Chain A
Amino acid sequence: MISFIFKRLLQSVVVMLTVALIAFSMFRYVGDPVNNMVGQDTTDEERAALTEQLGLNDPFIVQYGRFVLNAIQGDFGTSYKYRRPVSGLILERLSATLELSFVSAILALGIGIPCGVYTALRSEGLLSKSIMTLSLVGVSLPTFLIGILLILLFGVVLRWLPTFGRGDVVDIYGWWTTGFLTISGLKSLILPSITLALFQMTLIMRLVRAEMLEVLRTDFVKFAKARGLPDRAVHFKHALKNTLVPVITITGLQLGALIAFAIITESVFQWPGMGLLFVQAIADVDIPIMAAYLVLIAFFFVIINMVVDILYYAVDPRLRADSDT
């Protein structure tokens, strides 16, 4: 088990370094960093001096190394547009995105998995067929459109829920601001989290359903039935567990994707998170923010992937066979 974790850690580090390489290349070579930092009337000598001072004439490896070291400490340079350290900008907004993603994840899993199981077991029923149809619609609606429609319905027509922003937030623990502790904060979370969760929810549901249908066709399920085991035991004890094992990997990825998909939701709802920052950075060609966002997202993904792999290892006894026998 230990060697497995060690190997995965090693792989993760390699991935992070690769991503850092891409981020760094973007950072350094897209556009001119110096140009973006100084005004029109800076002399050529001053530019040259600045270039030297920033270490931009050093060999590639050195600059890359510097970038990585800085990144580990959280220093991603200064935003071209805001003229402030990128790390500060991101930290301000991190809690907003993470809270939103967390709530959406709970929604997506909490509704997606049970629905998937249900539609697999009762595939002929009316409720099943309706859920399947709705899921098809869910997969066909782009996230931003869902957001717009929800705003239209609940914000404009019914006026039940706020349509933009986070509501009132409370500072806890330094830079983390939470919207969980205020009524307006919670209300503001409802529409965005549903919007963000919907696409993932339907994907997870369809995946669980497909996987479960496969498992229900296997020989060991047939044999379990032949032994007279009641449906409840066959479905939940045997079939469900076997279904969830491959589903773990994909759900892990999906949840990671949530953090990235937050970009869209944040744009529609003007939610002050990292995603909104990122989109604006694309339009403004603010490279430091783009680079930092890339590395951060990669970091989240790598962590999630590793957790998923370890979970997989813990749940499926066949994977442990290599080390035992």
Chain B
Amino acid sequence: MDLLNINNLRIEFPSRHGTIVAVDDVTLTVQPGEVLGVVGESGAGKSTIGNAVIGLLEPPGEMTEGHVLLKTEQIDTLSAENKRKIRGRRIGMIFQDPLTSLDPLQTVEQQLVETIDLHLKLGEKKSQERAVDLLRQVGIPEPELRIKNYPHQFSGGMRQRVVIALALCAEPEVIIADEPTTALDVSIQAQILELMRRLCKDKQVGMLIITHDMGVIADITDRVAVMYHGKLVEEGTTAKILGDPDHPYTRSLISAVPRPDIRLKRFPMVNYIEEEGERTKDLDLSTHWLGKVRDFDDVDGPLLSLKNLVMTFVTKPALLKRNRIMFNAVDDVSFDIEQGEVFGLVGESGSGKSTVARMVCSLYTPAAGEVNFAGTDLTKIKSADELDYFRRQMQMIFQDPFSSLNGRMRVMDIVAEPIRFHKLASNNREVEQIVMDLLDHVGLGAQAAVRFPHEFSGGQRQRISIARALATRPRFLICDEPTSALDVSIQAQILNLLKDLQEELGLTMLFISHDLPVIRQMCDRVGVMKMGKLVEVSPTETLFENPKAAYTRELLDLMPRLDKLSHKGLELEDV
């Protein structure tokens, strides 16, 4: 007998722009002890399904068709009170952000006991014992002591374990997990996923796991359902869906996932979602403004040379210097980047990689060390006017497409700002022409110029950012996690664009990411950072096949096992 049955579900959200169909005729089943993954990109409707099953659909959303069955009982038509009785007791839910899922004013014990007592009616003492036992099961050390702590006294990963304990404490039959590991560090992710999988099998609980991350899917799911724009496009065992997908969307999704084990020339077949930015005209780079190689001289030796960089931040401010607590975000980092090279900087959050990037482009002033660009130490330059000459040569692309553009400026003005500031064109008409050419060149089309950022999607906004970065005709581009906030298929498109631009314009790049497979696709050499220190610098292939540092090996081990993923249609790069 099926544990959970979702039949022909349709969910609509009426709005002033018309009715939005978030979920369209979706049918899913979950068996006891089985993990079903629901995968899709943002807007696919997967979270909405989770909310609907547990009866917490946000108004004005409503279920207009279909029904949900738990074992044989139909639960979507129950009264509000009966729905509440099911929540926690028969269906448990885990949300994405552990930092905000717990009541900050109550101890863990209070929250656990409250839920246990409510559903299982064990009384205070027995509930407390059970609570301690649960914490032990989810792997929290010294549970008898820690149970008296408040949520803020636990780290993110620990908090998610508490959340899992809370979801399981009333012995539900089904667990719905909505992006349970997205907010966690890679090293913690693996542990949490393993925990969830083990608990699921041990207790024969059916789990519905909602995610956009293929690594998660490959790791713990038995079966997968693929969603696109509210519709279920394909469903099957994990091995089949990942290894031999039928539907073109699934195929294109799989092919867009960066692989840890191979390097591709480009990501293929990603046109299903958005037309991959088409350029309407080819720029003859030998004569066009963009290709005019720049009045900068070639350098002998590396373009960028960092020596003994140090950056300290104050964690505990105090009036007296000796009372302040500081920590080294970047601790004695040195490396070189040759002209035309793509250098990757990888590490977990807090490793200092973004800080290094910001020191290179002078957003932060290093506490010590040299930033040598084209032979000149930028840290020694005092006047802003002198620095402008170097600023022109290096530009940066940021991570968050939604905050890297000023929402109140038109795209034309955003991209034109650097041209106007550095006076790189002689009159306004020239500026406008350059901007439109740039927008076309990054695949957005010249008509984008009159629009505002909010009219564009995340991927399109990143293209605008890229156009802006190119507007000073730089020879050095810093990419700080440029695709981490994007869906997998969009990421593939943007990475393709960056690769194309790098080749055409001979750009030197510093590419920062926490995602090793992406690094493998993009970079020639890689530096690995841990807690402010550079632990290894090697060519990409060497790093992945034969790492020198122990930490590098750790990171490589934590990469998701994506060998199940199909290799169809992928063109390998000759290395």
| The 10 nearest A-B residue pairs measured at CB | A228-B88, A228-B87, A227-B88, A219-B100, A226-B93, A317-B150, A223-B101, A220-B103, A227-B115, A238-B103
Interface residues in A147-196 (C-beta closer than 8 Å to B): none
A113 to B97, CA, bound (A): 31
A191 to B118, CA, bound (A): 48
B153, A325: Cβ atoms closer than 8 Å: yes
Residues on A with C-beta less than 8 A from B166 are 223, 227
Residues on A with C-beta less than 8 A from B118 are 227-230, 233
Closest to A315 in B: B105
In addition to A223-B101, A225-B87, A318-B150, 18 A-B residue pairs with Cβ atoms within 8 Å of each other are A219-B101, A220-B103, A223-B166, A226-B88, A226-B93, A227-B87, A227-B88, A228-B119, A228-B170, A229-B88, A229-B118, A230-B118, A233-B114, A237-B114, A238-B103, A242-B105, A316-B105, A317-B105
Shortest distance between the CB of A320 and any CB in chain B (Å): 9
A83 to B244, CA, bound (A): 100
B105, A230: Cβ atoms closer than 8 Å: no
B84 touches which one: A228, A237, A324 (CB < 8 A)? A228
B104 at the interface (CB under 8 A from A): yes
A220, B104: Cβ atoms closer than 8 Å: yes
Residues on B with C-beta less than 8 A from A317 are 104-105, 150, 152
B88, A220: Cβ atoms closer than 8 Å: no
27 pairs, CB–CB < 8 Å, chain A vs chain B? A219-B95, A220-B100, A222-B56, A223-B102, A223-B166, A224-B103, A225-B87, A226-B56, A226-B87, A226-B88, A226-B92, A227-B87, A227-B115, A228-B88, A228-B89, A228-B118, A229-B88, A229-B115, A230-B84, A230-B118, A233-B114, A233-B118, A237-B114, A238-B106, A315-B105, A316-B104, A321-B153
Chain A 180-220: CB-based contact to B (< 8 A → 1; otherwise 0): 00000000000000000000000000000000000000111
B30 at the interface (CB under 8 A from A): no
Interface residues in A276-325 (C-beta closer than 8 Å to B): 315-318, 321, 324-325
Q: What is the total number of residues of chain A having a CB less than 8 Å from a CB of chain B? A: 25
A242, B56: Cβ atoms closer than 8 Å: no
Q: What is the total number of residues of chain B having a CB less than 8 Å from a CB of chain A? A: 30
Residues on A with C-beta less than 8 A from B56 are 222, 225-226
B444 at the interface (CB under 8 A from A): no
B86 at the interface (CB under 8 A from A): yes
Closest to A242 in B: B105
A225 to B54, CA, bound (A): 10
Given A222-B56, A238-B106, A241-B105, answer yes or no on A229-B114 (Cβ-Cβ < 8 Å).
yes
Shortest distance between the CB of A124 and any CB in chain B (Å): 11
Residues on A with C-beta less than 8 A from B121 are none
Closest to A322 in B: B316
A245 at the interface (CB under 8 A from B): yes
Given A218-B100, A219-B97, A229-B115, answer yes or no on A245-B88 (Cβ-Cβ < 8 Å).
no
B95, A222: Cβ atoms closer than 8 Å: yes
Interface residues in B78-134 (C-beta closer than 8 Å to A): 84-89, 92-93, 95, 97, 100-106, 114-115, 118-119
A321 to B170, CA, bound (A): 31
A303 to B177, CA, bound (A): 49
B224 at the interface (CB under 8 A from A): no
Closest to A217 in B: B58
A242, B104: Cβ atoms closer than 8 Å: yes
Shortest distance between the CB of A233 and any CB in chain B (Å): 7
Given A222-B95, A227-B167, answer yes or no on A318-B114 (Cβ-Cβ < 8 Å).
no
> Of A237, A241, A317, A318, which is in contact with the most chain B CB atoms at under 10 Å from its CB?
A317
A245 to B106, CA, bound (A): 13
Chain A 219-263: CB-based contact to B (< 8 A → 1; otherwise 0): 110111111111001000110011001000000000000000000
B270 at the interface (CB under 8 A from A): no
Shortest distance between the CB of A95 and any CB in chain B (Å): 38
A315 to B114, CA, bound (A): 20
Chain B 191-221: CB-based contact to A (< 8 A → 1; otherwise 0): 0000000000000000000000000000000
Given A219-B101, A222-B95, answer yes or no on A321-B88 (Cβ-Cβ < 8 Å).
no
Shortest distance between the CB of B532 and any CB in chain A (Å): 22
A217 to B5, CA, bound (A): 29
Given A238-B103, A316-B105, answer yes or no on A223-B153 (Cβ-Cβ < 8 Å).
no
A325 to B316, CA, bound (A): 13
B163 at the interface (CB under 8 A from A): yes
Residues on B with C-beta less than 8 A from A224 are 103
Residues on B with C-beta less than 8 A from A222 are 56, 95
Shortest distance between the CB of A122 and any CB in chain B (Å): 15
A312 to B95, CA, bound (A): 29
A224 to B152, CA, bound (A): 17
Given A220-B102, A223-B95, A241-B105, answer yes or no on A228-B150 (Cβ-Cβ < 8 Å).
no
Residues on B with C-beta less than 8 A from A245 are 105
A318, B95: Cβ atoms closer than 8 Å: no
Residues on A with C-beta less than 8 A from B97 are 219
A44 to B430, CA, bound (A): 81
Residues on A with C-beta less than 8 A from B95 are 219, 222-223, 226
Residues on A with C-beta less than 8 A from B170 are 227-228
> Of A228, A230, A317, which is in contact with the most chain B CB atoms at under 10 Å from its CB?
A228
A219 to B150, CA, bound (A): 17
Shortest distance between the CB of B314 and any CB in chain A (Å): 15
> Of B56, B84, B89, B167, which is in contact with the most chain A CB atoms at under 10 Å from its CB?
B84
Residues on A with C-beta less than 8 A from B101 are 219-220, 223
Residues on B with C-beta less than 8 A from A227 are 87-88, 92, 115, 118, 166-167, 170
